[in-house]
Amino acid sequence: MLPGWGVSTSFGSLMLRVIDHYWYHIGESMAIRQLLGHAGLPDFVGDIDGEAPYRPEQG
């Protein structure tokens, strides 16, 4: 728990919040570059289901 951040806030949830915020701004930048006609823009996430599909734990 982190003082002043609420009852259920942990370092993990704050890290997720920062990552989501960062990806949001990358998406905004990429959209603007697309609108300006830039070509060859990189894929940041790609085919996550094909590259690393979910596999439930065997237990």
Three-state secondary structure string covering the chain: CCCCCCCCCCHHHHHHHHHHHHHHHHHHHHHHHHHCCCCCCCCCCCCHHHHCCCCCCCC
With cut-offs at 50, 70 and 90, classify the pLDDT of residue 36: very high
More confident residue, 12 or 9: 12
- Pairwise CA distance, residues 17 & 29, whole Å: 19
With cut-offs at 50, 70 and 90, classify the pLDDT of residue 32: very high
More confident residue, 54 or 59: 54
What is the value of pTM for the model shown?
Answer: 0.51
